Amino acid sequence: MESIHKFSMDSDTTTLTGLVAQFSPSGSERGAVDWLVARMASLGYTNSFVDEAGNAVGVLGEGPRQVVLLGHIDTVPGEIPVRVEDGLLYGRGSVDAKAPLACFTDAVARTGALPGWQFVVIGAVEEERDSDGARFVAPRYKPDFAIIGEPNRWDRVSLGYKGSAWADVEVRAQQFHSAHADEPACETAVDHWVRVRDFAADFNGGREKIFDRLLLSLRGLQSGADGFEQWARLSIGARLPLDLPPQAWYEKLAELVPGAKVEPRGFPVPAWACEKNSALVRAMLSGIRAAGGTPSFVYKTGTADLNIVAPLWGCPAVVYGPGDSAQDHTPNEHISLEEYVKAVAALAAALSTLARN
């Protein structure tokens, strides 16, 4: 009851506004992490600390059953002056994804310690780059249920995120005079891109849902020469469906660009879809209804920390968080404070429902 009392004494949006005020682009999260750890302590968490990866961690309760609520505390670059106008909070991260993380923090505090349960809220670092924070916690927890924080609106539950795989495709050719009929490396690279794009069009034939399609993007095109050799490099991004894991995509890509070098970049992750008929999903739907909403489901075309932790944890999981994802990374990023308050109420009701089952 102590943690509920402490939560009710504060403004409903103190955690959100305070966290957004701590500008924390990837690689510079420590100020926001320290602020959130202190905030968790003030809300009555059993323990709050900074883990070895630099994540903010708050634990409430000591029961054997565990719910991990994993958000991310970093943002993309580009600081936006923090202000409230007409019920809207403006600031970098106000949507992606400090609103979901703050929502987790407040909802757990409102729920309080429940017999037999432990709630763990994690503000992970580096999600906008290589997800170092999530990769650190993935093998260190084994929760009964997991909720991942990303903005999908307060009355929606996301059940899936696409996979991703990035690669450079490099073409090299011997240097020759421009009057010769040989094909320059740049032209060969363009031919390769057209072939890859045509494959995606064929692959997507008959696939009505975007979640089921292969989505490609040409992220860069560079070229050069050193007097002896010329080269051209394509940077290709792929958002992958469930039936096309990263390794299979890399193999297909190599087939489509004969003679070129395919070099994977970053950390490829497979797509992931959550179980729809689970106690967690039912509790989330109940919580949204209790807060006055009409719940719905969504499958997203992006990739989240869900893709990293869900395969290892093997437990029922969902993605939840207030905010319109169309605001992600935009120069005018903002969230409705009313929506945030509803999300906290919905999640707190969901956690209470889950713990009763």
Per-residue confidence of the chain (357 residues) as pLDDT tens digits?
A: 333 334 443 459 999 999 999 999 999 999 999 999 999 999 999 999 999 999 999 999 999 999 999 999 999 999 999 999 999 999 999 999 999 999 999 999 999 999 999 999 999 999 999 999 999 999 999 999 999 999 999 999 999 999 999 999 999 987 554 445 467 899 999 999 999 999 999 999 999 999 999 999 999 999 998 877 899 999 999 999 999 999 999 999 999 999 999 999 999 999 999 999 999 999 999 999 999 999 999 999 999 999 999 999 999 999 999 999 999 999 999 999 999 999 999 999 999 999 998
Q: Could you tell me the pTM of the whole model?
A: 0.91
Could you tell me if 13 and 139 lie in one domain?
yes
Could you tell me if 249 and 198 lie in one domain?
yes
Contacts of 186 (CB under 8 A, 6+ apart): 223, 230, 232
* Per-residue model confidence (pLDDT) at position 225: 86
Could you tell me if 154 and 188 lie in one domain?
no
Could you tell me if 275 and 262 lie in one domain?
no
Structural domain for 334, as ranges: 2-161+271-356
Q: Phi-psi category of 248—alpha, beta or left, where left has phi over 0 and alpha has psi -120 to 50? A: alpha
* Per-residue model confidence (pLDDT) at position 176: 52
How distant, in Å, are the alpha carbons of 165, 167, 221, 297 from that of 266? 8, 8, 18, 30
Buried b (16+ CB within 10 A) or exposed e, 121-133: bbbbbbbbeebbb
* Per-residue model confidence (pLDDT) at position 80: 97
Could you tell me if 257 and 329 lie in one domain?
no
Cα–Cα distance, 323 to 95 (Å, whole number): 5
* Per-residue model confidence (pLDDT) at position 226: 82
Domain count, the chain: 2
Cα–Cα distance, 202 to 156 (Å, whole number): 32
Other CB atoms within a 10 A radius of the CB of residue 42 amount to 16
Annotated catalytic sites, by residue?
74, 127
Could you tell me if 87 and 226 lie in one domain?
no
Other CB atoms within a 10 A radius of the CB of residue 6 amount to 16
Neighbouring-strand partners of residue 145: 67
Could you tell me if 203 and 86 lie in one domain?
no
Q: How far apart are the first and last CA of the chain?
A: 20
* Cβ(108)–Cβ(39) below 8 Å: no
Could you tell me if 247 and 312 lie in one domain?
no
Could you tell me if 217 and 314 lie in one domain?
no
Q: If you write DSSP's letter for every residue of 72-83 in order, what string do you get?
A: E--B-S-----E
Cα–Cα distance, 127 to 138 (Å, whole number): 13
Amino acid letter for position 178: S
Q: At what angle do helices 246-256 and 185-203 cross, to 10 degrees?
A: 130
* Per-residue model confidence (pLDDT) at position 179: 44
Identify the CA nearest to 69 among candidates 354, 267, 333, 293. Answer: 354
* Per-residue model confidence (pLDDT) at position 182: 62
Check which CATH number belongs to the domain holding 339 and give it.
3.40.630.10
